[in-house]
Amino acid sequence: MHAPDSPPTRPTSPGAHHPSRSTAPEGSRLSRPALSRRAVVLDAADLRRAHTRIAHEIVERNHGADGVVLVGLYTRGVAVARRLATVIAGFEGVDVPVGALDVAFYRDDIGLRPVQPLGPTEVPVDVAGRTVVLVDDVLFTGRTARAALDAITELGRPRSVQLAVLVDRGHRELPIRADYVGKNLPTKVAEDVRVRLAEVDGAPGAEPDAVDGIEIWGPDEETAP
């Protein structure tokens, strides 16, 4: 139910490509204290506004939407990228191509933790010469974004690459920053940022208003170190 940047596997869902590859094993997680919800950071309406603002910023920064391709990182980044494309089509009248990128094989922690691809990479256009906007839900250590840079340049040489995220929760371990941020969210490392999006976390056909939200979960006080 969460998608921090650091764990290499993100849970799939009924809407994901490989339902059989259910959830991350994450042995390390077993030793962690139980988490409980600390705060609801963004509700469905906040998320809608964040998408709207980021979509406008992307078009403004790039002087239009021509030559832009939105590439979502599995799993929730793909849903965010599709939403951004819908918003852009609404106010700019341009259908921005949307792709899906799997970064598993480019991670730097292969062999250190269980790593599984979350779906086939599908980018419908040649990225060469285009502006690629990588889209993810949460920016944390930056390692996923680094792997994504390797994965996308394998497909061609973009004119430029930008990064859009719903939440920047800090704690970067690499010199990476986002160009578009829904919300800057100071967190503790031990906390989880849990993102729910209707396309991934809801039943088929679920409305965003009924599902969407971003929460911070933290260790229970009595078990906290």
Residues that bind other proteins (CB under 8 A): 17-18, 20-22, 25, 27, 102, 104-106, 110-117, 119-122, 150, 154-155
Nearer CB in complex with other proteins: 45/110: 110
Nearer CB in complex with other proteins: 147/181: 147
Nearer CB in complex with other proteins: 93/111: 111
Map tokens 């849970």 to a residue.
11
Q: Find the helix or strand (DSSP H, E) in which 86 lies.
A: helix 76-92
CB of 119 to other proteins, least distance (A): 7
Nearer CB in complex with other proteins: 99/182: 99
CA dihedral 120, 124, 197, 23 (to 10 degrees): 0
What b/e sequence results for 27-44 when a residue is b if at least 16 CB atoms lie within 10 Å of its CB, and e otherwise?
A: eeeeeeeebeeeeebbeb
Which one, of 144, 203, 197, 199, lies nearest residue 174 by Cα? 144
CB of 120 to other proteins, least distance (A): 4
CB of 105 to other proteins, least distance (A): 4
